[in-house]
Amino acid sequence: MYSSSVAGPPLIREPLHAPLAHLIRGGVVEGIHYGSVVVLGADGQVQLQLGDIEAAFYPRSALKPVQAVAMVRAGLPLDGDLLSLTAASHSGEERHLAGTRRILELAGLTEDHLRNVTDMPFDPVVRDEWIRTGRLPSRLAQNCSGKHAAMLYTCRLNGWPLEDYLDPRHPLQQAIAEIVEDLTGQRIAQTTVDGCGAPLFSVSLHGLARAAARITSAVHGTPEARVADAMREHAEMASGSGRDVAALMRAVPGLLTKDGFEGVQVAALPDGRAVAVKIADGANRARVPVAAAGLARAGVDPALLAEFAGEALLGGGQPVGCVRPVRALDPVPLTACA
């Protein structure tokens, strides 16, 4: 279905973003969210594109399924909930902390070996409870701790050094970079540091969509299929019990989706149809309805996507508008807008 050849890196330039969503209040366009979106068909061809899908950008945590595939290819023996946690931007719930501890225990390691930053839980309700009870920020609570624990486990299994596992020159990060290029089909344009401290690779939005499609359409039992199955079957471990990406995977049969900071989301179906979104201003209120509209354009039943059409805008406590994808993306809006 997809060629395994690797093209050159995407160009590093100011992205030529386009309007993706209107903020409508009382029938008037009050604001515009710019960004880029690509929809791929099952044959891998671009069915729809708005904005700049070929410029270099940082997928942020939307690249975690690819990182998880790289670790499985390198011998990581996890499956099920722990493999889902490996690809997670988790909410810091007790299930996530317990799962991270289990991965570390399997590796014969402890929280002290983690090199991600310390943080409070991502979920605001969980975070407020931590503050109320006097708990302090920790590496375990930080939303990437599952990935970091799995990175350490992969290093232990391969006899690679543990102390500098986040160095881009480390064998683990070199192996991950190789799989990023393999699955996206393009060379990495730039490498920097993500919020958690791990290397962050710049590819294109088109490349991110290609990678997700290759993961979800892979043959059963392959590292790609194992990651996809784990995330779909344990969606709350890959995110959290109240997160929109978990709800979306429950709503659409066979869908794999992953969000990332700064308004990024990627989603793909088992036949290779895929959507990738980048909201220029990083707004989640635009990310969710734009991703849903992209999935509808990919052929997903709009009835399954109705709850992801966007939050209502309130005036005096009453709905007076919404965030609605532009007509070029969503010619028949999933919901009406005041």
pLDDT tens column, 299-321: 999 999 999 988 888 999 999 99
Q: Higher-confidence residue: 1 or 126? A: 126
CA distance 188 to 178: 9
When the pLDDT of each residue in the chain is averaged and rounded to a whole number, the result is 95
Section 44-65 average pLDDT: 98
> For 211-245, what is each residue's pLDDT tens digit?
999 999 999 999 999 999 999 999 999 999 999 99
Q: Give the confidence band of 5 by pLDDT, cuts at 50, 70, 90.
A: confident
Identify the residue whose tokens are 């309007």.
19
Q: Is 106 exposed, middle or buried (0-12, 13-18, 19+ CB in 10 A)?
A: middle
Asked whether the beta carbons of 299 and 293 are under 8 A apart, the reply is no
pLDDT of residue 201 exceeding 80, the answer is: yes
pLDDT of residue 75 exceeding 80, the answer is: yes
What pLDDT score was predicted for residue 333? 67
Q: b/e per residue, 274-293, with b = 16+ CB within 10 A?
A: bbbbbbbebbebbbbbbbbb
Q: Give the confidence band of 335 by pLDDT, cuts at 50, 70, 90.
A: low
CA atoms lying within 13 Å on the CB side of residue 259: 30
Residue 185: left (phi > 0), alpha (psi -120 to 50), or beta?
A: left
CA distance 97 to 88: 12
> For 142-158, what is each residue's pLDDT tens digit?
999 999 999 999 999 99
Of the chain, the percentage scoring pLDDT greater than 70 comes to: 97
